[in-house]
Structure 1
Amino acid sequence: MTYNKGAFCELADRIEQIRQLMITAGLQYGLGSPETLRYSEQLDELILQYQFQNR
């Protein structure tokens, strides 16, 4: 696999953005709210991508 440092950094930044949105939504709407859960699912997908690229 070709290592693309720029894409890797962008992915890490996106993970942090979604993490912050999830935390904010959780505090504002509750942990079980649809918005919080949607961010959680997005975060899971991004983390899997990150782990796959980090092999």
Structure 2
Amino acid sequence: METQKSCCDVVTEINNLRKAMIATGMSKGLNDRETLKYSQELDKLILRWQLILRYQVEC
């Protein structure tokens, strides 16, 4: 149950961060530091989500 909650929380974070990254990219450009920071954070969250799913399936 905790894994499911963690997965849902991470998906919510991913969606929020994706929206922020897109908005920043559109207003400041794709090479702006803030856009790149969002992109890097998003990469980390997506990896975390994939790991949660991987171990959830194996349980």
Q: Answer whether TM exceeds 0.5 for this pair.
A: yes
The whole-number CA distance in structure 2 between the counterparts of 1:47 and 1:6 is 16
Unaligned runs of 5+ in 1: none
1:11 maps to which residue? Answer: 10
The runs of at least 4 consecutive aligned structure 1 residues that moved more than 2 Å come to none
TM-score, L = length of structure 2:
0.86
Partner of 1:41: 40
SS at 2:31 equivalent: coil
Rounded Cα–Cα distance in structure 2 between residues aligned with 1:17 and 1:38: 14
Q: Which runs of 5+ in 2 are unaligned?
A: 55-59
Q: Percent identity?
A: 37
Q: TM-score, normalised by structure 1?
A: 0.92
Whichever structure has more helix as a proportion of its residues is 2
CA–CA distance in structure 2, aligned partners of residues 53 and 34 of structure 1: 29
- Structure with bigger gyration radius: 2
